Amino acid sequence: MDPTFAAISGRYDFMTRVMSFGQEQRWKARAVSLIPKRGGETRILDLASGTGDFPLHIRDAGFTAPIIGLDRNPKMLEVSRQKCAGQPHIEFLQGDLLEIPFKDQSFDAITMGYGLRYVADIRHILKEVHRLLTPGGIFVCLDFGVPKFRLYRHLCFGYLLLLGTLWGLLLHGKGSTYWHIVESLMSYPGQKVVKAWLQEAGFGSAGLSSFSQPFGPKHKPRTPLL
């Protein structure tokens, strides 16, 4: 997967906007609005930080504490560092999500956008997130949901496959460039299963919210509180 994301890093922001009909920036802002502001500084970690969109939304929401973005792909990190170069106290580190290099209870909030379904062991990463959060901390994860009804699910997957193929040909000369989106969703257990795994990992509560309208992939931020 790393070579794929390296190849699309320069077009990643454009594609997320196209495939969401321009809605994904609004969804990210709404996801960030779920993070409560504490009396002191809120320490925030952004996992699978990609091109650095979430740290910028966090800054726009008024959080002033240092933000750390973690991603394993160096090309994506190049884009995120350039994008956030004018923002103070935003640091990007290269690292594996299955071996997050921080001590227990290091963060008050952890965000993740469109990355959970690519993790090889979702249950493990949820336990890691729980370990890293302070008591009362929050994990906000924005991603595609898996529609419950088979026909609607096939329509959504077909839409993503068709649009991804067209843009893959136009931008990269290779129709399969964005097939990884549908492939990851086909192996993704779905938001209800992930909610159960969050509770299994030790979260005191877990909520699901849908940010999209009918006929479109369901984006589900999970907001468990310790």
The per-residue pLDDT for 79 is 93
- Interatomic CA distance for residues 155 and 182, integer angstroms: 12
Encode pLDDT of 36-89 as tens digits.
887 668 899 999 999 999 999 999 999 999 999 999 999 999 999 999 998 989
The per-residue pLDDT for 39 is 62
The tokens describing 212, both together, are 């999209």
Contact status, residue 13 vs residue 53, Cβ threshold 8 Å: yes
DSSP state of 118: G
The per-residue pLDDT for 205 is 80
Strands (E), 5-161: 44-47, 67-71, 90-94, 107-113, 133-142
Contact status, residue 141 vs residue 116, Cβ threshold 8 Å: yes
What is the percentage of the chain residues whose pLDDT exceeds 90? Answer: 50
Which CATH number is 2-147+188-201's, of 1.20.1050.10, 3.30.413.10, 3.40.50.150, 3.40.50.2300?
A: 3.40.50.150
Spans of the chain, pLDDT less than 50 = 213-226
The per-residue pLDDT for 91 is 96
